[in-house]
A and B are shown apart, each in its own frame.
Chain A
Amino acid sequence: MRYKTVYEDCDILVVGGGMGGCGAAFEARHWGRDLRIVVAEKANIDRSGAVAQGLYAINCYMGMRWGENQPEDHVRYARNDLMGMVREDLAYDMARHVDSAVHKFEEWGLPIMRDPETGRYQREGKWQIMIHGESYKPIVAEAARKSADKIYNRIMVTHLLMDENHPNRIGGAIGFNVRTGDLHVFRAKAVIVGAGGASHIFKPRSVGEGMGRTWYAPWSSASAYALPIMAGAKMTQMENRIVLCRFKDGYGPVGAYFLHLKTYTQNAYGEEYESKWYEHTKEMVGEYIDHHPTPTCLRNHAFLMEVAAGRGPIHMVTTEAFQDPHKETVGWENFLGMTVGQAVVWASQDIDPKYINPELTTSEPYVMGSHATCSGAWASGPEDISPDEYFWGYNRMMTVEGLFGAGDALGGTAHAFSSGSFTEGRLAAKAAVKFVRDHARDPVKVSDEQIERRRREIYKPLEHYEIYRNEIVAGTVSPHYILPIHGLQRLEKIMDEYVGGISVNYMTNEPLLKMGLEKLRILQEDLEKVGAEDLHQLQRAWELKHRVIASECVTQHTLFRQETRWPGYYYRGDYMKLDDENWHVLTVSRRDPESGEWTLEKAPVYHLID
């Protein structure tokens, strides 16, 4: 093998340098002054993760200093939006700390808009504050860089490594450098997974040149889930995929439009439509439709029903608000700050929202853990507030010892967004430092055999391609391998058609899910024969493998929950109603790393009592 092996022995390894990972690297330094703290990032931390492009709002800020909201209020908001189910201990814990993170961002130079009358942060809505956040990520990355001992950019982490001295304990991580091809072995006493959630597991609406214009970044390749799953960690609420109602084609955000600019939606004939579907929705979900604010999925549901009834497209009425030049500027800068592509779509189609009410659409589903959804790993809460079932020693530690999570990787913590993900990274880091100190005399062992086994797996797509490439004249069609893009498109088609994507109007059922699982199993067999012609394609091959493992988990969870909890996100045709009697629970899964067998169980939901 022409690639060398680079070893890094550290105390805390952070996998993924997005908002969660940067928060972890920053905080770990404070509590672990003498520890070696290392970050491994797939791209470049200055522009990586979901915030790479920037943001125009911070969607999670309490404003406790001005008495605006308390952590309990945020818990009530998040659980209501997710139809009753979040990890309320984790949500409370994030919410009580998040303001301090936002205040640091402002000190570091992030321009936060102020209300000229009150002098407080300019609110977009009850939870959102408005920022000029084009450089949000580079600013936060600088904080991480000044804290970590070393940042490794361009490392695709493929697997976590296990400690061989203790059962079920983490030993580090392994991956390769996508530029040099070198194998990177990180032996670590604690690992914090801050990797990204999953775009491109369901077929996107745009499948040509524009397939990269997904709502969530195309580089969010489900490593947040695949890495813990492959290590045997338990996962929760993986069925709770999210569908976004956004401006058509560019998926430009609607938050500022609804909340700040006070634009509103109507059908193709200029009619309000949400109230029409009230009785119908009540039949499905009962009194949840009466909650305020209306849960995101139920608003999606009304949108979908109205379009299915033949009265689409749905438009956002902007022509009134955009007569105000200030609001017009906010409307455009909103896109330029975080979704430039929407500005390009409108420029190319001569859509000036001052004169034309733009179309909205519902996106393909995404699996992630920091927006209006909460898929991720089953993790311990903080010792001072968590119920016994939710606490096992270290805050944000998964069910594998020494393995922590933040951001998309953490399950049950909806509505964390950028600031909350950063905060979760901080919480995980403080706990990880404690874990390292408590186990200081207890070294981890990662054998050469374990490393060698992973090394062979990691480079296999390159070797496989090399062996069979010259069997064919040229081109992409081989009887012995598929390319990463082929596998990705097969995955997207399976998930779309069997697990509730756009082409079936988000509908699935038990027979479909079981067929989907079988097809995913065969896809995984074929991925043993994925071919990579270079290091870039090797990265794509591993991203695909991560996506497929996460998809299997999503499908298992969707099969397990026999109800339609989130109409508008997906429907179980065989159980079309919300069922609180049997399913007011969190779903928890584990994949046995040896056998690949899944077990699923119900875990209790604890609610904060008023």
Chain B
Amino acid sequence: MPTFVYMTRCDGCGHCVDICPSDIMHIDPTYRRALNIEPNMCWECYSCVKACPQNAIDCRGYADFAPLGHSVRVRREEEKGTISWKIRFRDGREKTFVSPITTKPWGQAIERLADLPPPSEEEVNSQQLCFEPEALKIEGGLPTISKDKFKQGVYY
């Protein structure tokens, strides 16, 4: 389902251009609105659909194998922490789904490592990564194994 843009809804804000991983959402120079310039390089990832503040972007299944008359619509709401989907089959049946996208207030839960105390020399020279061993949540620290346990040959 390559994406397409509804002429009357798009205001040319460019959010889709900023987010598209495939660099295929561009602003049309004549209409000053977004369009998919390369539908055959669209992964139908929905990044642009989710990012559009005007709900102006939709997908129509790839012409090679998807008959017309279906839709898969989405609304992603960061402040609510949810994503809602509505699937409409060609024959008119509908299914809806709602899932969480985060458990924390958006953009506030992640620490700045630069604000933490710097690591000790001992930690620098160990095999530990940041927040280890605590973040492993196991007794006895980071697992290790003797070099002698690795042997050459066709056996295991």
Contact = CB atoms under 8 A, between A and B. Distances in A.
A274 interface: no
A100 B91 contact: no
Contacts of A340: 1, 44-46, 59, 72, 74
B13 interface: no
A207 B143 CA distance: 48
B63 A350 contact: no
B61 interface: yes
Interface stretch (A295-303, A330-338, A546-554): A330-338
Interface in A293-330: 329
Interface stretch (A84-92, A403-411, A448-456): A84-92
A142 B110 contact: yes
Contacts of B154: 84, 580, 584
B83 A217 contact: no
Contacts of B151: 606-607, 609
A33 B142 CA distance: 23
A99 B137 contact: yes
B102 A217 contact: no
A29 to B, nearest CB: 4
A139 interface: yes
Contacts of B43: 52-53, 212-214, 217-219, 341
A428 to B, nearest CB: 11
Contacts of A430: 129
Contacts of A29: 113-114
Interface string A18-53: 000000001101110100000000111011110011
B20 interface: yes
Contacts of A143: 110
A43 B113 contact: no
Interface string B43-55: 1111100000000
Interface residues of A, number: 98
A607 B156 contact: yes
A209 B39 contact: yes
A141 B132 CA distance: 21
Interface in B118-156: 118-119, 124, 127, 129-133, 135-138, 142-147, 149-156
Q: Is the interface of B mostly helix, strand, loop or mixed?
A: loop
A48 B101 contact: no
A345 interface: yes
B100 A348 contact: no
B19 A47 contact: yes
B22 A206 contact: no
Given A65-B136, A212-B40, A536-B26, A349 B67 contact: yes
A109 B109 contact: yes
Given A43-B20, A46-B19, A48-B21, A352 B89 contact: yes
Given A333-B99, A609-B149, A65 B155 contact: no
B103 interface: yes
B142 A96 contact: yes
B107 A217 contact: no
Nearest to A248: B65
B118 to A, nearest CB: 5
A44 B50 CA distance: 15
B101 A135 contact: yes
A545 B36 CA distance: 24
A97 B63 contact: no
A512 interface: no
A65 B144 CA distance: 16
A104 B99 contact: no
A263 B92 CA distance: 26
Interface stretch (A164-172, A235-243, A380-388, A592-600): A380-388
B129 A208 contact: no
B7 interface: no
A382 to B, nearest CB: 6
A42 B143 CA distance: 36
Contacts of B93: 350, 352
Given A30-B130, A212-B41, A347 B87 contact: yes
A43 B21 contact: yes
A208 B127 contact: no
A385 B45 CA distance: 40
B44 A606 contact: no
B21 A52 contact: yes
Contacts of B31: none
Contacts of A336: 72, 74, 83, 85, 97, 99
A210 B70 contact: no
B90 interface: yes
B47 A348 contact: no
Interface in A386-405: 386-387
Contacts of A375: none
A89 B99 CA distance: 38
Nearest to B2: A209
A608 B153 CA distance: 10
* Nearest 5 A/B pairs, CB to CB: A210-B62, A109-B104, A100-B135, A348-B66, A30-B130
9 contacts: A27-B130, A65-B137, A132-B101, A206-B62, A332-B87, A350-B91, A352-B89, A385-B145, A426-B129
Given A44-B18, A209-B62, A336-B74, 6 more contacts: A30-B116, A30-B119, A43-B22, A219-B23, A341-B43, A536-B37
